[in-house]
Amino acid sequence: MSTDTGHSGIVHWRRSVWNGVRCEPVLVTLRTDSLHVRDRSLGTVVQADPRAVTGRLTRLGTLVLTVDGRRYALVGRGASLSPAPSADQQQALEDAGHNSPPPGAAGSAVDQLLNGGAAARMRDWHSRLAAAGARLR
């Protein structure tokens, strides 16, 4: 019996490179056998076995995942125009019990100062997905 209950967190799905309003919060839950990404209304965006996920982490901290041929760009924080996480997402995150601590590495001083540690957050997700079997570069 495993005591690993997984990891949950809110990141942002960058649906458009240019339009900050289209960068929306998503609740990501990773367990040993499933990756589940839910939108603001808790509708399923992605549900997959982590071993079926491919992707890479860019130099700027965007985690680009491909699932069933569809590409998802996830970032650690949204744009100033992006919607905030919904109350439903916040409640679902609370219900998950914040199963894991925040990333151990806080990130560089530049990441902290200019980006609120968003790149470090995405490096943490990259490591967790890789450990769950995702094929990431």
- Cβ contact 84:23 at 8 Å: no
Q: Does domain 7-136 have CATH number 2.40.30.40?
A: no
The residue that leads in pLDDT, 104 or 13, is: 13
Exposure string (b/e) for 22-32, b if CB count within 10 Å is 16 or more? bbbbbbbbbbe
Confidence label for 128 from pLDDT (cuts 50, 70 and 90) = very high
pLDDT digits (tens, 9 = 90+) for 106-117: 556 554 545 557
pLDDT of residue 76 exceeding 80: yes
Run of H or E including 66 = strand 63-67
30-55 pLDDT, tens per residue? 998 999 999 999 999 999 999 999 99
**Looking at residue 17, what is its pLDDT?**
77
Between CA 133 and CA 64 the distance in angstroms is 16
CA distance 27 to 44: 10
Question: Mean pLDDT over all residues of the chain?
Answer: 86
The 23-31 sheet, strands edge to edge: 44-48, 34-38, 23-31, 7-14, 70-75, 63-67, 54-57, 135-136
Band (19; pLDDT cuts 50, 70, 90): confident
For the entire predicted model, the pTM comes to 0.84
Lowest mean pLDDT among 8-17, 21-30, 89-98, 111-120: 111-120
Give the number of other CB atoms < 10 A from CB of residue 56.
13
Which one is predicted more confidently, 107 or 81?
81
**Domains of the chain, residue spans:** 7-136
CA distance 127 to 103: 10
